[in-house]
Every structure is written in C-alpha cells, then in structure tokens.
Structure 1
Amino acid sequence: MRVKYVLSEVLVGLWRNVTMTIAMIITMAVSLTMLGASALLYLQANEMKDYYYANIEVAMFLKSDVNDEQRQALDQQLRSDDLVQDYQLETKDKALEKFQTLWRDTPDLVNSVSAEQLPESFRVKLKNPEQYEDFAVKYRDAEGVDEVLDQRELLEKVFGILNSVQTMSLIAAIVMAIAALMLVGNTIQVAAYSKRREVAVMKLVGASNWFIQAPFVLEAVAAGVIGALLGFGILVLGKVFLIDGALQDLTNLLTPLSWDNVLLMLPFMAGAGALVSAVTAWTTLRFYLRV
C-alpha cells in the first residue's frame, strides 16, 4: 500500500508541474550528454595513446649526399643495437609513394614533388619508446644522418589539443550540472509548497520524514534517469550519424570509437543523473521539513 501510494504520488507530481519537469529533464539531458561526451573523449584519448605509442617509430633521416658505405654502416649498427626492436630503410621512391598516398587529395602538390626532393630514412621501432633520447644521442651525430625525429613530439601536440577539448567539455558539463541542480531544487520546492497542507497533516499524524520525502526524491530521480536516457540517445545518434557517418573521413586518423565504450555510458549517465537528483532533492527537503 505504501509503495503504491509513493509511486502514484511520483506520477502525480511529475504531471502537476509538467513544464518544470520537462525543463528539468532537458537540462539534465544536456548536462549528462556533455558529461558522457567528456568521459568518452577521455577513454578515447587513452586508447589512442596506448595504440599510437605501441606503434610509434623513430624517423632517422639521411643526408642528401649519403653514400653506400655510410648507409651500410648505419644498417649494421641498427641491426646490433639492443635498443632497436625492428627497422626498415625507406628509400626515396618509397617516401614518394607514401607522400602521394598521404596527399592524394591535392594533386597539384603531388605533381610538384619528385622522389629526389624527398630524403631517405630509417624507420626504427624501439623496444622501449621511452628510450628515445638514448637512441637519439647514439645516432644524431653519426655520419650520413641529417636528423633524428621522434613521432611522439608530433603526437603530444595532438593529444594536447584533445586534452584541451576534453577539459572544455568537462567544464561545460559542470556548468550545466550546476544549472540542473538549481532547477531540481526549485522544482522540488515548488512541489513541496503545493502540497504543504498535506505534508503538515502527515507530520501531525506521525508520518516519518523518509515517507514524506520519498515521492519528491523519486520524482527527481525519475526526471534524472529520463534525462540520462535522452542524453544517451544523443550520444548514440552522434556515433551513428557523425563519428561513423558524416565525419568518418575526418576521423580516420583516430582509433575507432567502440560500442562497448558508448554502452558503458548508459549506466554511468543514469547513475550520475539519479544520484545527483536524489541528493539535491533530499537536501532541499531536509531544509523544508525543518520549518
């Protein structure tokens, strides 16, 4: 009987303040969407770091006037180097093929570059990428070597941008969460005020605080969960139509966004929405019931 009463009061409360309920749901949906997006971006950035750092190479560019003797000496040194896991020589022709593939969408640029304009290089994969400095010290001043370049320097710039975007989305989520908290609190106050006589009678007859608070708290939790479901739906649509659709060509350098990570956001967002709404409603009612 008590459960039936509480649930019926939840439905009545949601319908009684339908406009504020809709506003609360929309605000929670936007806030939780931003929170879920920032969490996905965090997971994706970590996966990208693990993937690219595991496949990272050191490019050892050779001088334009390098001779066969210098090239063979470098090859033998790399073959016996304990720091090196694998390596291969990228000739001028191979460099041109890679350049043409990379810039195939700009034919004018491709046609203006010849193999002789590109440097030869050894593409080296280290056993431990963290030992790049030790490797660079060995080969930076070797005969025939023009430059030793670690791809991590380029990747760190990319990850720096991703981290900035992640931080901005998290800040936006926090701002929206504060707005959602204020709206939840106001909605609960209005609902409690509209039932002030009923609440007063229930207190006079000895009803416990939790029994009085339960409909209001569950009303806020329901709105939070519905908002989380809407936010999760937005993330799913974003993956289907943006990440895997319109922006697929722009994101081909990124590691794929897995459905496992997307589905992980459902319990995360629902739990966050329910918890935040419940705590806010309970805190608001604690002040109200002290009057």
Structure 2
Amino acid sequence: MSHFSTGFKSLRRAPFQALAAISVLAITFFVSTLLVLLGYSSNKILQYFETRPQIIAFLKDDAETGEMRALQSRLEGDLRVSQVNYVSKEDALEIYKGATTDNPLLGELVSPSIFPASLEFSASDLSYAEALVGEVKSEKVVESVAFTASLGGESTLGDVIARLKTITLYIRVGGVIAMSLLAATSLVVLMVIIGMRITVQRKEVESLSLLGAGSWFIRAPIMIEAFMYSFIGVIIGWTAALVLVMYSTPGVISYFGQIPVLPRDTLFFFGLFGAIFGGELLIGMIIATFGSYIAISRSLGRK
C-alpha cells in the first residue's frame, strides 16, 4: 500500500505535469478508440459492398422447370455463392411496376410474358464473380448473364472487379498503416512523458540507491505513477469516445441505412467498446511498465 501512496503523492506534487501527461494520453486513447471504430466500420462497409453486386442469370423461355431448379440447387450449394433468389416472370413484372410507380400506365402496357425468369445471386467475394459469370453463362438454360457492378457491359467485368478490389485493398492497407502510426505515437508519447517525470525525480532515485534501497523499492512508486497516468488517460479518452459515438450513432445509422457501420444490438455495441477498453488498458499498462523500467534503469546507470 505504501508504494501506491508514494506514487499518488508524487503525482500530486506536480499536478500540472500530471495534468499534461494525462491530457496527452487521454487524447491519444480517444483518437485510438475512434480509429478502431473507424476500422470496424470500414471493414463492415467493404464487406457490404463486396457482396452487394448481384449476378443475374436470365433464363431461356423454353427452359424446363427441373433444369432451372437443378441450377438453383447447384448455386445454393456453392460456397462461393450467397443469397440465391429465383425471380419468375410474374415477379419480374411486379418489380417493373414498382420501379414505374410514377407512371402506372407503363405497367398496364406490359405482360409477364415479355420478362424473362432469372436467378439472382451474389458472390461471397468479388474475386469469385468473374469465374461464376463464366460458369453460369455456359449453362444451357441460361440466355444471358448480367453483373450489376458492370456499368459498361460484360466485356468490362474484369476491369470493374479489378477496380473494386484495388479500392478495397487501398482502404484496408491505409487503415493498417494509420493504426500502426497511432500505436507508435502512443508508445513514444508515453515513454517521453514517463521519462521526463523520472528525470525530475532522478536525484531522489539516486539518493535512495546510495542508501541501499532495493531495486523494487525504487522502481515500484515510479511504475505505479506511470500506471496511474495510463489508467486515467485510458478512462478519460475511452469515455469521451463512447459518449461521442453514442450521441452520433442514431444519425450515423440513419445515414448509412442498411450498411451495418455500427452495431445495432445494444449488447454487442457495449461488448465492442468493452473489448476496446480492455485492449487499450492492457497496452497502456504494458507501455507504462516498459517505459518506466527503461527510464529508471538509465537513471540508475548514470554516475
């Protein structure tokens, strides 16, 4: 208990330095929390759009029901495929009427016979789309195949997929780089602040060493003080980020609609923040331990 009291008294002896240290750490962990959430949201957006482009296989009018069902069953059993839907001629007409509600007369002028039945499905990953299109086109019951992400027709399908994959890769790599830079910045900030605090107490540390104080007796109060900086900084930064995200969540969810950029389930939402808090607390304690250990070792090594 005496080590905690010593560390707390040391913190109170220099309130402005402690305030500066805690402020920097709070900002660091505040930004870190938001960046982790940004990485989570970016990943959800990418997953959404990776499976969003649909492959539509238009079936021949003379195709037999058994052959169509067989193709649908094969697609449903393919691990590369998700969300297989059969759209009949009547369903296609209803979709057309829904798209032309502003001009009902257009829906009255057509009949189901002019619309082809189709199988609509998505690829579980964009890299599978081109191969799936080629395989489905070779089926004898398929008249033609369309890919909703290919605005320039089937001939540009490969280019479209390549562009989407490139954008996805850039976003993911950029997120990893940003996280790495922030982690490195957090490490440097903590070590510098702890080192400055130990430098102020160097004479006291050297005096204790000359009086024969043990290594743990000298290190413990400084390490505990570093733990206090980290712990308080994590709590303030994490809490500020939590309040900001909770305040903005309704607007964010409303803006992005069906895209699950943030957890909609309350338990999962707080579970995610709990995991972030635990990770940040662990990182803060580890950095405080190593930073204070290295700084006091350098002070004891000086003559």
Taking structure 1 as the reference length, the TM-score comes to: 0.71
Q: In structure 2, what is the equivalent of residue 79 of structure 1?
A: 69
Q: Secondary structure at the match of 1:83?
A: helix
Q: What is the 5 A alignment of 1:121-136? A: 122-125=118-121, 135-136=132-133
Q: Is residue 79 of structure 2 the alignment partner of residue 88 of structure 1?
A: no
Contact 1:37/1:169 (CA < 8 Å) preserved in 2?
A: no
C-alpha spacing 1:147/1:219, structure 2 compared with 1 (3 Å): same
Q: Secondary structure at the match of 2:63?
A: helix
Q: Aligned letter for 2:259? A: L
Q: In structure 2, what is the equivalent of residue 273 of structure 1?
A: 284
The number of residues matched between the two structures is 269
For 1:159 and 1:40, locate their aligned partners in 2 and report how far apart those are by CA, in whole Å.
22
For 1:226 and 1:166, locate their aligned partners in 2 and report how far apart those are by CA, in whole Å.
31
Q: Is residue 295 of structure 2 the alignment partner of residue 284 of structure 1?
A: yes
C-alpha spacing 1:156/1:178, structure 2 compared with 1 (3 Å): same
Q: In structure 2, what is the equivalent of residue 22 of structure 1?
A: 19
Q: Aligned letter for 2:290? A: V
| 2:254 pairs with one of 228, 249, 257 | 249
Q: Aligned letter for 1:87? A: N
Q: Deviations over 1:44-68 (max 9, x none)?
A: 5666777888898532357xxxxxx
TM-superposed deviation, 1:172: 4.1
For 1:179 and 1:50, locate their aligned partners in 2 and report how far apart those are by CA, in whole Å.
29
Q: Deviations over 1:173-208 (max 9, x none)?
A: 544444443443343333333333322221122112
Q: Secondary structure at the match of 1:247?
A: helix
Q: In structure 2, what is the equivalent of residue 264 of structure 1?
A: 275
TM-superposed deviation, 1:150: 6.9
| 1:193 pairs with one of 177, 181, 199 | 199
C-alpha spacing 1:55/1:187, structure 2 compared with 1 (3 Å): closer
For 1:37 and 1:145, locate their aligned partners in 2 and report how far apart those are by CA, in whole Å.
49
Which sections of structure 2, spanning at least 5 residues, go unmatched?
Answer: 77-83, 151-156
Taking structure 2 as the reference length, the TM-score comes to: 0.69
Q: Aligned letter for 1:34? A: V
Q: In structure 1, what is the equivalent of residue 213 of structure 2?
A: 207
C-alpha spacing 1:72/1:284, structure 2 compared with 1 (3 Å): farther
Q: Aligned letter for 2:118? A: F
